[in-house]
Structure 1
Amino acid sequence: MSDQPRVTIREFTGRQPETEQALAGLSVESAAGLRQFSLERMLGYGVDYADAVELRGRVLAGDRWAEAATRLAEQCLQYAQAAAIEVVRAPFLLRASALLRMSQMMFLQDTAERREIYARAAVLYAEAAVILGDRERVNVDGPQGTLVGWWFHATPQPVGTVVVIGGVEGWAMDFASMGLALAQRNLNVLVLDGPGQGETRFTHGQYLTAEWRASYGAVLDYVQKRAPGVPIGLVGNSMGGSLMMAIAVADERIRACCDNGGLVAPSMVTSSVGTFHTKMVLFCGTSDPDAAARIWTDVNPIADGPNTGYPLLIVHGSKDPLISDDLATAMLTHAPTADKEMTVFSDGDHCIYNHLQDRDALIGDWMRARLATAGE
């Protein structure tokens, strides 16, 4: 018998310098992925810190974005399979799901491969949800088909129900931290894939069309029936903030709304912006920029409506590359309610991913206070 201790080494690429020179040597896709999805944003979408660092290191070393993320996901699944007890599997399943979702971020078309990747990520997320028991997958029947979301149960008794959506890129599973934070504050939470988002898009073929208001109306019908008599709030992240404000002003069931990173006029985004505009067009299920522009023009967060006067919180980051301080101020100024306020994070990035817990706490505390008062 050997008296030498066993030594196991786990090899990692590790953190690499992200200089302009290093980025210049990469493919267009890899360089764009590193620029668009900062370390903070990746963590905000549920990617584990170590996985995010390793993914970035491997891409800087020359691996393709999607392949690097997929290989890391497979490694997490190996750890999950080796887990001695069931509860230990959940974190690894969530890590693998987040990495698979990250792997498809740079796709600019809805290919069969992209749909398969996203479906697999959803299966892993659902397995983790069953183990954790803190959220459940729900299907909402809408006028154009099924919408998919995750329902986080209030603990212990709900003072309100909140519908949360992401934007053009980050979707329901990516906003689990917000779902958990709001549920801890006695709020039911439906973190939703709306038309053009996530499983609603890839599995059920729903995009943002001229009928988008009817689809969100069906969602509000669903939450009202599931938790009758409980006031309803909305939270929209990125372009989802613009959508939620447009819904809030038009529906008197909405008792509070938070915009985290929305644009005062989404139709302002033109082809000069680059791939983000391409993704906005694809969000509408078309390759025709003019057709998409007509749909986005109808998303008007500062329009008047029957629910003018709803309570509004705008959350803004002064280092947001998409929404300038002037654009955030314009949203605050022109929003059709006198009951409005804005919180600015002086170093905040888009959707405040670099202050994730503080962001979720701010929105959760504000929403709880507003809906609890509305319920009285």
Structure 2
Amino acid sequence: MTAQGEVTLVEPPPVVNREHTGRRAETEADLAALAPEAQAALRQFSLDRTTGYGVDHADAVELRARVLGGQDWQSAAVELAEATARRADGDGVTPTTRIALLRRSSALLRMGQMMILTDTDDRRALFAEAAQRYARAAELAGDRERVVLDTEGGPVVGWLVPATGVAVASVVVIGGVEGWAMDFDSLGDAFSARGIDALLLDGPGQGETRLSHHHYLTADWRAAYSRAVDFLDARAPGRPLGIVGNSMGGSFAMAFAAADQRIRACVDNGGIPAPWAVPPSGTFFTKMLTFCGTGEAERGLAAWRTVTPLARGVNTDYRLLVVHGGADPLVTDDWARELLRDAPAGGREMVVFSDGDHCVYNHRNDRDALITDWTRQRLTAR
């Protein structure tokens, strides 16, 4: 009220509501009422696995809630990705926030294409946009760079995460049949923080290498991995080299380590002794064939039979760490112990997370610390 007795109206402070679906119950009855693809997506991509691939926890909760509410997996993930991208380009957003939002948006787009079993135009477009947003974030942050390496089989794409401070070693990090280079950037960050250059690689059959350049798994896949090691070796001649493989990538990492004497340390996080022995039916087998650019079982299996993690090669001195989840629904305890027992390596160790799921996504920070600390110690030991 003014001195003259007049009433002054004060505008209330603005209130902005950010609407979220919120966590939903996931009872058996709720799941049974959903479409088969939605059930499969929620079963295959648990909250831990989804966040393990770089999806923000809140985004993963929202994604599951929307699918439980009846929305299909792909459209739910893409809608969330677009909303996050709009926030990244909003007024008043600092560069630090924009970087984080672009990476969140990229991870959601990558998650959106997970349930597409073959390489459709829609899938290629989704993944290309995910890579573009990841690249925007990388340019803003200045903490990694996209690398394209020419090989006889076609280009291979990776993301180089340079060491923070003085680099003491270099590593190649690879994913598996479903999770690829960008999905494992938490390992890249962990290696960087420990003074190790990390090349997050999409090998033949993976990620941008496959979806943008049509470079699939063939019997000559080792040449592409060798080219990646050449790249790291040329950047820092004489610096010790290692390789880390996640999921089926663990089988590739071991098979390559035995064939290349430059590799001094190898980590298998979720591989199996005989990838070609996966039952020849179901969606995972279809994804394995797509990895090879074919729908023909025998042609695909011929390529997978060359991934031989237990075969002896010229390199018998490398050190091996097997990381295993005791609750892994895909890799049995017996398979993990077979890799440990029969690997043609100079030194072998295994760490088991008793309640760990596949690739130990549910202990991601501890897993990454274990892998990166172990690798640094083995590569720098005199």
Q: TM-score, normalised by structure 1?
A: 0.97
Cα distance change, pair 74–366 in 1 and its aligned pair in 2 (3 A): same
Cα distance between partner residues in 1 of 2:177 and 2:144: 23
Partners of 1:90 and 1:309 in 2: how far apart? 41
Counterpart check, 1:260 vs 2:269: yes
- Is residue 77–residue 109 contact of structure 2 (8 Å, CA) maintained in 1? yes
Aligned-pair CA distance for 1:140: 1.1
- Asked which structure has the greater CA Rg, the reply is 2
For 1:91, the aligned partner's letter is A
Partners of 1:114 and 1:174 in 2: CA distance: 16
2:291 is aligned, of 267, 272, 283, to 283
Which letter does structure 1 place at the counterpart of 2:50? M
Q: Which residue pairs with 1:213 in the alignment?
A: 222
Secondary structure in 1 aligned to 2:322? strand
Output the amino acid matched with 2:334. Answer: D
Distance in structure 2 (CA, Å) of the matches to 1:249 and 1:3: 71
Q: Which amino acid aligns with 2:60?
A: A
Q: Tell me the residue number matched to 1:153.
A: 162
Any stretches of 5+ residues in structure 1 without a counterpart?
none
Tell me whether 1:227 sits opposite 2:228 in the alignment. no
Percent of residue pairs bearing the same amino acid type: 56
Match of 1:45 in 2: 53
Which AA in structure 1 matches 2:80?
L
Q: CA deviation at 1:4?
A: 3.5
How many Å separate the matches in 2 of 1:194 and 1:100? 20
Q: What is the aligned counterpart of 1:69 among 67, 73, 77?
A: 77
Deviation at 1:338, TM superposition (A): 4.2
**Who is 1:247 aligned against?**
256
Matching residue of 2:315: 307
Task: Provide, for residues 341-364 of structure 1, a one-character-per-residue CA deviation record: whole Å limited to 9, x for no partner.
Answer: 000000000001000010000000
What are the Cα deviations for residues 44-70 of structure 1, in whole angstroms up to 9, with x where unaligned? 111011100000000000001000001
Report deviation, 1:83: 4.5
2:251 alignment partner, SS class: helix
Q: 1:165 to 1:83 in 2, by over 3 A?
A: farther
2:163 and 2:192 in contact (8 A); partners too: yes
Distance 2:87 2:132 in 1: 17
Unaligned runs of 5+ in 2: 1-8
User: For 2:33, which of 5, 21, 25 is the aligned residue?
Assistant: 25
Partner Cα separation in structure 2 for residue 271 and residue 26 of structure 1: 27
Q: Deviations over 1:214-253 (max 9, x none)?
A: 1111111111111211011000000000001000001101
CA–CA separation in structure 1 for the residues paired with 2:188 and 2:91: 26
TM-score (normalizing by structure 2) = 0.96
Name the structure 1 match of 2:192: 183
Q: What does residue 179 of structure 2 align with?
A: 170
Q: How far apart are 1:260 and its partner, in Å?
A: 0.2
Q: 2:332 aligns with which of 300, 324, 335?
A: 324
Instruction: Measure how far apart 1:3 and its partner are.
Output: 4.3
Of the three residues 144, 149, 153, the one matched with 1:144 is 153
In the other structure, the counterpart of 2:209 is: 200
CA contact (8 A) 2:264 2:317 kept: no
Counterpart AA for 2:47: L
SS at match of 1:162: strand
Q: SS at 1:142's partner residue? A: coil
- Per the alignment, residue 370 of structure 1 pairs with 378
Partner of 2:16: 8
In the alignment, is the contact (CA less than 8 A) between 2:244 and 2:268 conserved in 1? yes
**Of 296, 300, 316, the match for 1:292:** 300
Q: Distance in 1 between matches of 2:191 and 2:50?
A: 21
- The whole-number CA distance in structure 1 between the counterparts of 2:17 and 2:136 is 30
Give the secondary structure class of the aligned counterpart of 1:92.
Answer: helix
1:83-98 alignment to 2 at 5 Å?
83-84=91-92, 85-98=94-107
Q: Which runs of 4+ in 1 moved over 4 A?
A: none
1:78 corresponds in structure 2 to 86
2:358 equivalent among 343, 350, 353? 350
Q: Deviations over 1:14-58 (max 9, x none)?
A: 111112211111111111110000101111111011100000000
Give the match for residue 4 of structure 2.
none
Alpha carbons 1:309, 1:338 under 8 Å: kept: yes
C-alpha displacement at 1:132, in angstroms? 1.2
The residue aligned with 2:6 is none
RMSD: 1.1
Alpha-carbon distance in structure 2 between the residues aligned to 1:23 and 1:83: 40
